[in-house]
A and B are shown apart, each in its own frame.
Chain A
Amino acid sequence: MATEKITSVGNKPIAMLKVLNPFHIWALGVGIVLVGEFMGWNFTVGKGGAYASLIACWVIGLLYTCVAMIDSEVTSTVAAAGGQYTQAKHIVGPLMAFNVGLYLVMAYTMLCAADALVVGDLMKSGAEVMGYANLDTKPFVVLTVAFLAWLNYRGVFATLTLNLVITFLAFLSLIVLFFAVDPLNQGVVLQHAGLLTDLPYGWIGVIASLQFGMWYYLGIEGTCQAAEEVRSAGRSIPLGTMGGIMTLLVAATITWFVATGLMPWQYLGQAVTPMYDAATLLGSTQLQLMLFIATAFAATASANGCINDASRAWFSLARDRYMPVFFGAIHPKYRTPYRSVLFLVPIAVSFAFTGLLDQVITFSILSGLLGYTFMTFNMIKFRKMWPLGTIHRGYIHPFHPIPAITLLTLCCATYFATFLGYGASLLSIMAFYILASVWFVLRRYKFVKRADQFTMPWPRPKGY
């Protein structure tokens, strides 16, 4: 006997729950990024020495401050999931939107895979310390992705509340480490006077370090993906995003200060877990344990945020039929894009099982960089199409167009830096996105219902 299917509830279309506040947005943005403070950032030191790393920290910090300001302004008007994809769709056009959506999905899925690999490696290190060699990391990689996907499947509030707690604890561990090295008394613990050298590879080393400088902040732009699930996008997104970038600027500077005062640049530039090593050098078992747990928390928070963001981006692409519409479904009980969450699990696990952490991260960084480049054109066009006063903005970023021009300039410098270190990867990733664009234009766009993409009652743009 066939059962009648439920066709509507309360005669309203299904929607994601608006339950998040600015703290959740902060946790989403900082949570994705903070693992970069525990590992990865230090490859900037290997590229150009300790001072180059500090320059990269602040120059790339400026790049991301521009990203955060631009994102805050545009997203405070676009209260929709998809973040930069949705912005591109409204402001530039479908081909750009498709590409940006794909950058987002690839960047976050790959970052999630890298984070899961880190959790697996941490388990292996922990087992080795306790006398068990050669622990298989695969089950812990799968468990990380499966557990976080399950959490994301069951609701955004619990997911990002968990992120808030573990991200705050991980950030707190950096503050504790900072005070543990007696920062006001140089020479007691910190040895900057002896360890800081000139630029060992000159200014080209500084340029080269910009690529890995992105580890300090990569992912803060992910706050926009929650725009459809916050109680007040116009208030929460700018507060959470700007609070997040300020937190990261402090965390990045503390990280550099502590690590470069304890380790020579030759060691630091190739260390796998520099902050854990810093705690080890201090000779405190409690600090060691704290940094071990904090690194695991940071990696977990990052993977959690990445699943959240990648699924929202994929869901938005599907809702507009840029991808199969099947993935545009929302769970009637948990109000999450459950099919998108589920779909991304095997992809993240597959990337993680390749074990190619550096390639996976490079793909993620480059996808992010392509997204930031788009944002510059997007911002200029946004202000032309909807000048100040024609649409309500929750936040207006200052000195326009200087942040957009600065962002474009710094993106170009970072492309050059990436070309120096990963030229082949850069070109192959570009080729991938060009092929994907051709596929979209020739085979996919015909399925898109053009008028259905724009359901937000925005005012007509200037000149139209």
Chain B
Amino acid sequence: MEFWDILVYAAWSASAIMLVWMVVDAFMISSQYDEEYLMSSREGGEDDVVHGTHLEEGNV
């Protein structure tokens, strides 16, 4: 078996390992955390101070 043949198998294997790792991790997160918490992010993130500096008049 040539070097390039081995490289092809290595590429397939490494891809499979990384993809499986991500899928398994995603399932584990879903089983450990409440969906509402995972999807609780708000536009602009948690740092409201960043946006607070934008307010000059007519705050909603």
> Do these two chains interact?
yes
| Distance (whole angstroms) from the CB of B55 to the closest CB of chain A | 6
Total B residues in contact with A, Cβ cutoff 8 Å: 46
Cβ-closest chain B residue relative to A134: B4
Q: Give chain B interface residues in 1-55, CB to chain A under 8 Å.
A: 2-4, 8-9, 11-12, 14-15, 18-19, 21-23, 25-26, 29, 31-48, 50-55
Asked if residues A392 and B4 are in contact (CB atoms below 8 Å), the reply is no
Among B2, B45, B55, the residue within 8 A (CB) of A459 is B55
Sorting the interface of chain A by its residue count into under 10, 10 to 19, 20 to 34 or 35 or more gives 35 or more
Is A158 at the interface (CB under 8 A from chain B)?
no
Min CB gap A299→B, angstroms? 16
Interface check A249, CB cutoff 8 A? no
CB contacts under 8 Å to B, within A153-181, are: 153
Residues of A within 8 A of B38 (CB): 14, 329-330, 332
Contact (Cβ within 8 A) B41 A16: yes
B24 CB, nearest partner CB in chain A, Å? 11
Q: Mark A441-464, 1 if CB is under 8 A from B, else 0.
A: 000000000000111111110000
Within 8 Å by CB of A392, from B29, B40, B47, B54, lies B54
A142 lies within 8 A of B15 (CB): yes
Question: Which residues of chain B are near A459, meaning CB under 8 Å?
Answer: 54-60
Decide: B33 and A457 in contact? CB cutoff 8 A.
Answer: no
Minimum Cβ distance to chain A for residue B20 (Å) = 10
On chain B, the residues within 8 Å of A339 by CB distance are: 26
Asked whether, in the complex, the Cβ of B14 is within 8 Å of the Cβ of A143, the reply is yes
Residue numbers in B under 8 Å from A342 (CB-CB): 22-23, 26
Task: Compute how far the CA of A448 lies from the CA of B14 in the bound complex, rounded to whole angstroms.
Answer: 39
Instruction: Collect the chain A residues with CB atoms within 8 Å of residue B9's CB.
Output: 139
A10 to B42, CA, bound (A): 16
Q: A456: which B residues are within 8 A, CB to CB?
A: 43-44, 51
Q: By the criterion CB–CB under 8 Å, are B54 and A391 in contact? A: yes
Cα distance A362–B51 in the bound complex, in angstroms: 38
Once bound together, how far apart are the Cα atoms of A232 and B55, in whole Å?
Answer: 16
Q: Whole-angstrom distance between the alpha carbons of A460 and B56 in the complex?
A: 10
In A207-245, the 8 Å CB interface with B consists of: 228-229, 232-234
CB distance from A454 to the nearest CB of B (A): 8
User: Which residues of B are at the interface with A, using a C-beta cutoff of 8 A?
Assistant: 2-4, 8-9, 11-12, 14-15, 18-19, 21-23, 25-26, 29, 31-48, 50-60
- Mind listing 11 A-B residue pairs with CB under 8 Å? A5-B32, A8-B34, A80-B45, A135-B4, A150-B22, A228-B44, A342-B23, A389-B56, A392-B54, A457-B59, A459-B57
Measured CB to CB, the residues of A under 8 A from B are 3, 5-9, 12-16, 18, 77-80, 86, 127, 132, 135-136, 139-140, 142-143, 146-147, 149-150, 153, 228-229, 232-234, 319, 325-326, 328-333, 338-339, 341-342, 345, 389-392, 453-460
